[in-house]
Amino acid sequence: MTASLRRSAIVAVLTFSVAAVCAAPALAAPLDGSSGSSSGSSSGSAGSSGSSGSAGSIALPIPSPAGLVALAAAATQTGKPYQWGGTGPNSWDCSGLVQWAFRQAGVNLPRTSQQQALVGTPVPLWAMQPGDIITFRTSNDHVGIYAGFGQVFNAYDYGVPIGLTPLSAEPPINQIRRF
Query: Which three-class secondary structure state does DSSP give residue 178?
Result: strand
Task: Report the catalytic residues.
Answer: 94, 142, 154
Instruction: Give the start-end residues of each E strand in 10-141.
Output: 27-28, 58-59, 121-122, 133-136
Element (H, E) at 22: none
Which pLDDT score, from 0 to 100, does residue 125 have? 95
Closest alpha carbon to 163 in 9, 14, 7, 11: 7
Which pLDDT score, from 0 to 100, does residue 60 have? 79
**pTM listed for this prediction:** 0.72
Residue 29, pLDDT > 70, answer no
pLDDT band at 41 (very low <50, low <70, confident <90, very high): very low
Residue 17, pLDDT > 60, answer no
Radius of gyration of the chain (CA): 15
Query: Which three-class secondary structure state does DSSP give residue 164?
Result: strand
pLDDT band at 39 (very low <50, low <70, confident <90, very high): very low
Weakest mean pLDDT among 25-29, 124-128, 155-159: 25-29
Which spans in the chain are helix H? 3-21, 65-75, 94-104, 113-116
**3-178 has which CATH code?**
3.90.1720.10
What mean pLDDT comes out for the span 66-93? 97
Query: Could you tell me the residue ranges of all domains in the chain?
Result: 3-178
What mean pLDDT comes out for the span 7-24? 49
